[in-house]
Amino acid sequence: MFESLVRFFASSPLLLLFAVVALGYPISRIRIAGAGLGIASILFAGIALGALDPRLKLPELTYLLGLAIFVYAIGLSSAQSFWGSFNRRGLRRNLLVAGVMVASTALVAGLALGLGFTPRMAAGLLTGCFTNSPALAGVIEKVKAAGGTPDLLAEPVVAYSIAYPIGVLVPMLAVLLAQRFAAGRPPVAEPAAPEERRGLPRLEVRSVLVTHPEVVNLTKHFVCEKAGIQVVFGRILRDGAYFLPKADTALRLGDTVVVVGSAVGVERATALMGEAAEVEIQRETTEFDSTRIFVSNSAVIGRPLRELDLPGRHQAVISRLRRGDLWFVPHSETVLELGDRIRVVTRRENKEAIEEYFGDSYRALSEADFLTFSLGLAAGLALGMLPIVLPGGFTFRLGFAGGPLVMALILGKVHRLGPFVWDFPYAANLTIRQFGLVLFAAGIGTIAGEGFGRTLASGFRLPLLLGAAALLVAGVADALCLVVGARFLKLPFGELYGLLAGMHTQPVVLGFASERTGDDLPGVGYATVYPLATVLKIVLAQLLLGLAG
């Protein structure tokens, strides 16, 4: 019976693929103390089937295709956050995470030397401790390019599989211990940088009466600069008449202004400008009204809002922007992306024209432009094949993982070249990304399963050593991040918890930290370092593999 089942599944790779997914995906939904394996459960399901019989193996094209699709899609979605993280405030946090990761890589190399791990196991251990599938994919590709056998391909997967759960649980434990340590200590003030430019779960709206003379003749730009915030001015009531402010509109005493921003930004704007108005004019819809629009017109993509000049050309103001599950406060340099949902304030008779200008087609957002997707991915694969010679004669290639990722970060930054729009709608990007990761996890799991089974059959000494090493690496990395960040950089603990989650590229840890703190500060740290951490882990894992070899 068993032999018949094995032959049946081995004869149909497509059937085997979906059997692995069907077996692993339900496990991803299991939560213990808020933590779960996610898509990694499909990797483990593939390993289990591959260990049962070496014939239960998916073609290599499965994981290579999934890898290229996944990293390209995640690069496009992370491009803006990645390039934006190099401002003065973000640079210090990224340097902290980069320093910790470089130190962790050195620690892994030392442990590999002392405990007898192969370079492939060391690279897998590093990727597992920081729970990063793209980095593992890069290692697998490099091993395969060097003529790796199934047993050699299994080594990094074995180390990754053992270290992965530890890489999830240790930062969660670090958050708990840090909270206990921080209890009773004076809190570090929340950074005064314009945090409203990051995504927030919600935005506040308030009508503010201008009563303070010091803001008279100031435009919104100078009000934001003076208060250290980023808010949007909606409609203004002046001398009994409503109008939409332009970039050069100056405030006057007695104006009632609709202010949109984060809770902190709205409070600061109110204190600076005057007081909360008795009448909420944002509810007045006799002349102006607001409408929610899906951005589906590619003509408005890749251009900052100052170029669109909505108040001057279209008598309209974007008061807020939603991307995925987060709200953003738009500013003059904000660039719209396909799939954004925007709240636009305009004259009632102008609503249809504004909706047509931005597209407002949900169907168009569900259709991916596979021409630009194919061109960008092909360029990334070509870039990954180019040899990069480092000092000392070491040749390095970005490969199937790094090439598409770097190309996506570049294309996601420029948004468009002539008629080609590189951005993907948020929902389409998320779906493609998930599909690619499923292909990669299932494919590499079945290929590595045979070697994984032989490793376990040889005894428990090696798995125990790998588990102990992963515990040490993750513990040292998290302790370094917390201690240096709190003592020397004076960062709030809430933001440090987000840095931990971003360093591990682990949304489970972010959710746990946000639940423990009860605020949005962990999300600041996570969004700041996540893109760089993803790229850096791909590079460090391959450098570790090459240098150790």
For the cut 70, the answer to whether the pLDDT of residue 34 exceeds it is no
What pLDDT, in 10s, does the model give residues 401-438?
678 878 988 898 888 887 788 887 777 888 888 888 78
- φ/ψ of 241, rounded to 5, equals -120, 145
Residue 202 burial (CB count, 10 A): 11
* Strands of the 316-323 sheet, one edge to the other: 288-294, 341-347, 316-323, 326-328
What are the b/e assignments for 34-58, b being 16+ CB within 10 Å? ebebbbbbbbbbbbbbbbebbebbb
CB 532 within 8 A of CB 82: yes
Average pLDDT, the chain: 82
Retrieve residue 276's tokens.
């909360």
Ranges of each domain in the chain: 195-364
Question: Quick one: three-class SS letters along 162-183?
Answer: HHHHHHHHHHHHHHHHHHHHHC
Compute the distance between CA of residue 399 and CA of residue 134 in angstroms, rounded to an integer: 11
Range with top average pLDDT, 194-203, 377-386, 539-548: 377-386
The predicted model gives 442-449 an average pLDDT of 80
- Report pLDDT for 196: 40
CB 207 within 8 A of CB 283: no
- Report pLDDT for 191: 43
Q: Return the CATH fold of 195-364.
A: Alpha-Beta Plaits (3.30.70)
Q: Which residue has the tokens 């049946």?
A: 8
Residue 443 burial (CB count, 10 A): 29
319 burial class (0-12, 13-18, 19+ CB within 10 angstroms)? buried
For the cut 70, the answer to whether the pLDDT of residue 520 exceeds it is no
Contacts 24+ apart (CB under 8 A), 21-27: 21/45, 21/438, 21/442, 23/48, 23/49, 24/441, 24/442
184: left (phi over 0), alpha (psi -120 to 50) or beta: left
- Residue 189 — very low, low, confident or very high, per pLDDT cuts 50/70/90? very low
Span of 124-133, 246-255, 356-365 with lowest mean pLDDT: 356-365
- Helix axis angle, 133-145 to 521-548, nearest 10°: 10
For the cut 70, the answer to whether the pLDDT of residue 187 exceeds it is no
- Report pLDDT for 432: 86
Compute the distance between CA of residue 66 and CA of residue 444 in angstroms, rounded to an integer: 10
- Collapsing DSSP to helix, strand or coil, 372 comes out as helix
